[in-house]
Structure 1
Amino acid sequence: MELTGWSVAAAVVVAGGAWYLMTRKSEVPCTVDLEMTHDHFHAHVDLKGVEVDPGDEVLVRNTPSRIAFGTTTTFESSAEVKRASWLKRQVIKLTGGTEIHELYEVGFEG
């Protein structure tokens, strides 16, 4: 079987795509702090012993979809952290300044 320039290029693209999409998942404990008062409206998550880097995804489990006005609550939960591959992290670092709108995609789903 003879390799042509196109077949080598296709193999490089497929390998690069697979490397870009590779992720590692881990389950970590976390503390969730929710507040909806006249002075503050926030949700903070403290992942125990994990630092999130560019490209990583975090899914916090078992969170309430609503809290009553005037309420402040803190509880323990767990989160799934999906680590971005090295290649994806580099692409995000290079293009991060042009994608500021990505910051607005944080929200609550109920």
Structure 2
Amino acid sequence: MSTFRIGKRTSFDVPCTVEIEQTSETLHAHVILDGDIEIGPGDEVMVHDAPTHVDFGERLVVRRTATVVRAGLLDKIRARLEGYRELTELYEVSFSDGRVS
């Protein structure tokens, strides 16, 4: 599979594990893809029939199927440029006390 596709996007299905937990210690949702699959800038992962809710104090672990859509070259470039743009917005935040010296 070539990594230098201009606009062509390829996709494939892969089994995965979805873990959702909502307790007083943590609130998280993780998707772990089976195999050694690397997700890069611009790639998309869509989990089919993923749970969307877990009650407080509970942890849910389920097996599902995910579709991985590989980004083309233009998608990768766009994703990296958007990432840099959003990072530079963080630089604009000031932590001064507001007084001019």
Fold shared, TM-score > 0.5 on shorter chain: yes
TM-score by length of 1: 0.66
| Alignment size in residue pairs | 82
- Residue correspondence of structure 1 range 12-31 to structure 2 within 5 A: 20-31=6-17
The alpha-carbon distance between structure 1 residues 94 and 64, as it changes in their structure 2 partners (threshold 3 A), is closer
1:83 shift after superposition: 0.4
1:92 shift after superposition: 2.4
Structure 2 CA distance for aligned equivalents of residues 20 and 94 of structure 1:
16
Could you tell me which residue of structure 1 aligns to residue 97 of structure 2? none
Which structure is higher in helix share? 1
- Residue correspondence of structure 1 range 83-102 to structure 2 within 5 A: 83-100=70-87
Give structure 2 stretches of 5+ with no counterpart: 88-101
Report which structure shows greater RCO (CA 8 Å, sep ≥6).
2
Letter in 2 for 1:61: H
Q: Secondary structure at the match of 1:99?
A: helix
CA contact (8 A) 2:7 2:73 kept: no
Q: State the identity %.
A: 38
Q: Secondary structure at the match of 1:91?
A: helix
Q: Secondary structure at the match of 2:76?
A: helix
Q: Secondary structure at the match of 2:12?
A: strand
Runs of 4+ aligned structure 1 residues displaced above 3 Å come to none
Letter in 2 for 1:73: L
Q: CA RMSD in A?
A: 1.7
TM-score by length of 2: 0.71
Structure 2 CA distance for aligned equivalents of residues 56 and 84 of structure 1:
5
- Residue correspondence of structure 1 range 1-110 to structure 2 within 5 A: 20-49=6-35, 50-100=37-87
1:64 shift after superposition: 1.6
Give structure 1 stretches of 5+ with no counterpart: 1-18, 101-110
